[in-house]
């Protein structure tokens, strides 16, 4: 612990407008004479910056009552704090922390390895980065109005603990949408509202699977799904992707004892392949024969630019073996933190029990506005606008990338990212770092492989930015490749 130069621990200090938290300050005197112990306890709070400059201290009457001390002993402790320059008395107002006090810097040992897993990696920011959505002025205006309307008449559901599945009205709206748009077999009772796809995946893993069991994943794979599986002690077996998607026969050769499989059949991440109907039926048959589960992550199926999308894998499941994951992060924006699980009846109680004992139920404040946004057809109009904007951005990016013949650009009919393959001998990780230095985002394809021999390439997003910006980003990548 080191005493540093005298300075204000709250700069600037607004003495008149600071909130009064004095009755909540945790003053815990140690052993020894009561006045001295109280003085040291308050001084340590001030020196540590826990009570900022200009903050009001608890009254002598409050502390005497809390600590079972004579009020005179508390007053004596305050007088010592004032004399030492840690506090100041204000006539008729009470005792406050002085405007300038010495702060203590507490030295903590650094961990043996880097633990800041939240620091953005190269390529995760800027045009070309994945997971960025396009702000739409009309949508934001409508959503603001819906939020204002619902906040103006808060219902009783916001003042009591709710259903762990989420609100009935929102679940009905989601079920109606999924039945008509994705061919999902569901009712509101099958849906659990989550704070995004990642929470839905984690709930399934923790409620249904056990540490040490094997799960197939597509190879290459969505890294956050792999992280969720590994983080819960599961063994991940990569099954290579071909032109038809994941092959269950190949999976059985690699890991016959798998208890589940994680797939993105409508638009495989990151290669963009759509799983054929033949493979979908074979995967369902494998799950039935082995009492296994299929986790279907349908993360961006709403963005289809040509042809009709295949129905969701869950929609052709006649045995209740598919757990379906969806999200509003791609359709609207990630800040909503709203996703959903469509759960087979056999799993519902176990998953809801886990949900209840972890975060109990989803937040309710945005459920009403989101429900109205879906029911009143605002979401359909928003999707039409978003598809047009995203398609223009995709085309601008493709045209710019194709100016470099070293890049084998694969133009997707669906989704929000594309793949640009690099020649053998390239270093996609180094290229991503150079692009990041130029303010452009991308992911290195080689980093997404599990067990298969990595290929070199760039996974580039084209949502969240205008066509002009994506064209500029594409030209930068082309010049660096």
CATH number of the domain that residue 40 is part of: 1.10.10.10
| Residue 472 domain flag | yes
Between CA 440 and CA 471 the distance in angstroms is 11
Between CA 112 and CA 125 the distance in angstroms is 28
Tell whether 57 and 148 lie within a shared domain: no
Domains held by the chain: number: 3
The residue behind tokens 């069991």 is 213
Q: Is the pLDDT of residue 165 over 90?
A: yes
What the block records as the tokens of 275 is: 């799983």
Q: Is the pLDDT of residue 244 over 90?
A: yes
What the block records as the tokens of 94 is: 């009470």
Q: What is the pLDDT of residue 121?
A: 67
Tell whether 142 and 156 lie within a shared domain: yes
> Quick one: 160 exposed, middle or buried, by C-beta within 10 A (0-12, 13-18, 19+)?
exposed
Higher pLDDT, 252 or 106: 252
| Residue 9 domain flag | no
Q: What is the pLDDT of residue 9?
A: 46
Cα distance from N-terminal residue to C-terminal residue, the chain = 50
**Cβ-Cβ contacts under 8 Å for 229 (sequence gap 6 or more):** 205, 215, 217, 236, 262
The answer to whether 191 and 341 are in contact (CB under 8 A) is yes
**Across all residues in the chain, what is the average pLDDT?**
90
Tell whether 257 and 184 lie within a shared domain: yes
Which pLDDT tens digit goes with each residue over 417-469?
Answer: 999 999 999 999 999 999 999 999 999 999 999 999 999 999 999 999 999 99
Q: Is the pLDDT of residue 18 over 80?
A: no
Over residues 33-38, the mean pLDDT reads 91
| Residue 223 domain flag | yes
| Residue 54 domain flag | yes
Tell whether 370 and 458 lie within a shared domain: no
Q: What is the pLDDT of residue 225?
A: 96
Nearest to 362 by CA among 207, 223, 171, 226: 171
Which pLDDT tens digit goes with each residue over 191-233?
Answer: 999 999 999 999 999 999 999 999 999 999 999 999 999 999 9
Tell whether 169 and 281 lie within a shared domain: yes
Tell whether 174 and 264 lie within a shared domain: yes
Cis peptide before 220 (omega within 30 of 0): yes
Which pLDDT tens digit goes with each residue over 333-368?
Answer: 899 999 999 999 999 999 999 999 999 999 999 999
The answer to whether 399 and 471 are in contact (CB under 8 A) is yes
Give the domain extent around 48.
Answer: 34-97
Q: Is the pLDDT of residue 406 over 60?
A: yes
The answer to whether 417 and 459 are in contact (CB under 8 A) is yes
Taking every pair of Cα atoms in the chain, the longest distance, rounded to a whole number of angstroms, is: 85
Q: Is the pLDDT of residue 236 over 80?
A: yes
Q: Is the pLDDT of residue 6 over 60?
A: no
CATH number of the structural domain spanning residue 192? 3.40.640.10
Confidence of residue 105 (pLDDT cuts 50, 70, 90): low
Q: What is the pLDDT of residue 119?
A: 59
DSSP letters along 420-474, please?
EE--TT--HHHHHHHHHHTT---EEGGGG-SSSPPPPEEEEE--SS-HHHHHHHH
**Cβ-Cβ contacts under 8 Å for 118 (sequence gap 6 or more):** none
Cis peptide before 194 (omega within 30 of 0): no
Q: Is the pLDDT of residue 102 over 80?
A: no
Confidence of residue 8 (pLDDT cuts 50, 70, 90): very low
| Residue 119 domain flag | no
Strand partners, 417: 461
Q: Is the pLDDT of residue 15 over 50?
A: no
Tell whether 337 and 252 lie within a shared domain: yes
Between CA 156 and CA 133 the distance in angstroms is 33
Nearest to 102 by CA among 85, 83, 79: 85
- Work out whether strand 322-327 and strand 339-342 pair parallel, antiparallel, or are unpaired: antiparallel
Q: What is the pLDDT of residue 123?
A: 62
Tell whether 367 and 386 lie within a shared domain: no
Over residues 322-329, the mean pLDDT reads 96
CB neighbours of residue 201 within 10 Å: 25
Between CA 370 and CA 328 the distance in angstroms is 10
Confidence of residue 369 (pLDDT cuts 50, 70, 90): very high
Which pLDDT tens digit goes with each residue over 117-134?
Answer: 455 666 677 999 998 988
Q: What is the pLDDT of residue 25?
A: 83
What the block records as the tokens of 156 is: 């009783």
Strand partners, 327: 339
DSSP letters along 262-287, please?
EE-TTS-TTT-PPPPHHHHHHHHHHH
The answer to whether 276 and 235 are in contact (CB under 8 A) is no
Confidence of residue 115 (pLDDT cuts 50, 70, 90): very low
Q: What is the pLDDT of residue 118?
A: 53
CATH number of the structural domain spanning residue 419? 3.90.1150.10
Strand partners, 323: 295
- Work out whether strand 339-342 and strand 260-263 pair parallel, antiparallel, or are unpaired: unpaired
Which pLDDT tens digit goes with each residue over 56-92?
Answer: 999 999 999 989 999 999 999 999 999 989 999 998 8
Confidence of residue 4 (pLDDT cuts 50, 70, 90): very low
Q: What is the pLDDT of residue 200?
A: 97
Tell whether 78 and 150 lie within a shared domain: no
Tell whether 92 and 143 lie within a shared domain: no
| Residue 149 domain flag | yes
What the block records as the tokens of 182 is: 């994705």
Q: What is the pLDDT of residue 323?
A: 98
| Residue 16 domain flag | no
Q: Is the pLDDT of residue 135 over 70?
A: yes
Confidence of residue 17 (pLDDT cuts 50, 70, 90): low
The residue behind tokens 């008449």 is 153
Tell me the H-state helices in 68-128: 71-83
What the block records as the tokens of 33 is: 């004479």
Residue where a domain terminates, one of 379, 411, 445: 379
Tell whether 295 and 421 lie within a shared domain: no
> Quick one: 26 exposed, middle or buried, by C-beta within 10 A (0-12, 13-18, 19+)?
exposed
3-state secondary structure of 95: strand
Tell whether 74 and 182 lie within a shared domain: no
What the block records as the tokens of 366 is: 């945005």
- Give the DSSP H/E element, type plus range, for residue 180: helix 168-181
| Residue 104 domain flag | no
């Amino acid at each position: 612990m080191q005493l540093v130069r005298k300075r204000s621990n709250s700069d600037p200090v607004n003495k008149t407008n600071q909130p009064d938290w004095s009755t909540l300050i945790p003053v815990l005197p140690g052993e020894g004479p009561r006045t001295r112990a109280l003085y040291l306890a308050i001084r340590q709070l001030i020196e540590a910056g826990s009570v900022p400059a200009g903050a009001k201290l608890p009254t002598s009457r409050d502390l005497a009552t809390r600590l079972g001390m004579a009020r005179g002993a508390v007053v004596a402790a305050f007088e010592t704090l004032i004399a030492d320059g840690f506090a100041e008395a204000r006539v008729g107002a009470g005792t406050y922390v002085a405007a300038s006090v010495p702060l203590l810097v507490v030295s903590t040992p650094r961990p043996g390895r880097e633990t800041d897993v939240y620091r953005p990696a190269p390529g995760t920011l800027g045009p070309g980065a994945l997971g960025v959505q396009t702000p739409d002025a009309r949508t934001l205006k409508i959503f603001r109005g819906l939020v204002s309307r619902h906040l103006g008449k808060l219902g009783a559901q916001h003042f009591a603990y709710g259903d762990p599945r989420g609100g009935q009205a929102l679940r009905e709206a989601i079920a109606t949408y999924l039945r008509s748009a994705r061919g999902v077999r569901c009712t509101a009772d099958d849906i659990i509202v989550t704070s995004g796809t990642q929470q839905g995946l984690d709930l399934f893993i923790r409620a249904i699977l056990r540490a040490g069991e094997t799960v197939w994943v597509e190879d290459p794979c969505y890294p956050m799904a792999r992280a969720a599986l590994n983080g819960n002690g599961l063994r991940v077996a990569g099954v290579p992707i071909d032109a038809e998607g994941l092959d269950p026969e190949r999976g059985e050769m690699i890991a016959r004892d798998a208890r589940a499989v994680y797939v993105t059949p409508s638009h495989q991440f990151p290669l963009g392949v759509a799983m054929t109907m033949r493979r979908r039926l074979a995967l369902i048959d494998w799950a039935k024969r082995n009492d296994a589960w299929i986790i279907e992550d349908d993360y961006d199926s709403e963005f289809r630019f040509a042809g009709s999308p295949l129905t969701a894998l869950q929609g052709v499941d006649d045995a209740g073996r598919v757990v379906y994951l969806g999200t509003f992060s791609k359709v609207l924006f990630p800040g909503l933190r709203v996703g959903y699980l469509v759960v087979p009846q056999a799993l519902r109680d176990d998953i809801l029990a886990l949900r209840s004992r972890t975060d109990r139920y989803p937040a309710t404040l945005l459920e009403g506005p989101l429900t109205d946004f879906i029911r009143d057809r605002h979401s359909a109009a928003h999707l039409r606008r978003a598809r047009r904007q995203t398609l223009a951005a995709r085309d601008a990016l493709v045209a710019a990338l194709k100016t470099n013949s070293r890049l084998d650009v694969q133009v997707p009919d669906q989704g929000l990212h594309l793949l640009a393959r690099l020649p053998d001998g390239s270093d996609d990780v180094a290229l991503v770092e150079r692009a990041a230095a130029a303010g452009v985002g991308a992911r290195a394809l080689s980093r997404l492989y599990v067990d298969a021999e990595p290929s070199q390439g760039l996974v580039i997003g084209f949502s969240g930015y205008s066509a002009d910006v994506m064209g500029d980003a594409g030209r930068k990548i082309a010049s660096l490749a």
